[in-house]
A = this chain, B = another copy of it.
């Protein structure tokens, strides 16, 4: 009955991954149990431990899945250098499709676990640093193009952009009715438009990064 073809080890791991994903989307990390995952794919917990020796390994794999899904998600083709690209990148984060909503929901869900574990806290902190770093070069391009002031602190603006978009994600997750697609986009466009403004005028020689 059960096909033990020894070649599709990776394929079976992928099946497990999809079951993990569905459990996470439905019940979050607090509801991620071996039995829930096993039941989701109509298998036994013994089979799970055949692919993931411990719960910790499964959780780690779930976090990897999250990162992998995030990195591999379909993205908009960058329209033009500078601010339009920043806008497109931020749009790619918002929960505008069911897939984006699930991914964001799982990210937010993971924060409880991440905050309770020192190692995971540091990893999440690094992830945020990397995310900010992906915005920075495009903000520098925008500065070079004169789309934002020449004295703008691109590192700080990257942090601000990530902050704004993730804060919007959280509100949208808790109240999708009040944050439909057009509202989210309008808010994002408004935010990007304000990037072009002066912000706080920093006196020369007073700003340092990191």
Contacts and interface: CB of A to CB of B under 8 A. Distances in A.
Nearest to A30: B112
Interface stretch (A8-16, A45-53, A166-174): A166-174
B27 A116 contact: yes
Nearest to A191: B160
A189 B125 CA distance: 23
Interface of A is mostly: helix
Interface string A106-132: 001111111110000100110011000
Contacts of A129: 175, 178
Contact of A190 (B160, B173, B183): B160
A125 B186 contact: no
B124 A186 contact: no
Contacts of A128: 171, 174-175
A190 to B, nearest CB: 4
Contact of A166 (B170, B186, B198): B170
B113 A111 contact: no
Given A128-B175, A210-B178, A113 B30 contact: yes
Interface of A: 27-31, 105, 108-116, 121, 124-125, 128-129, 156, 159-160, 162-168, 170-171, 173-175, 178-179, 182-183, 185-187, 189-191, 193-201, 208-210
Given A167-B170, A186-B200, 5 more contacts: A30-B116, A108-B115, A156-B186, A163-B163, A163-B165
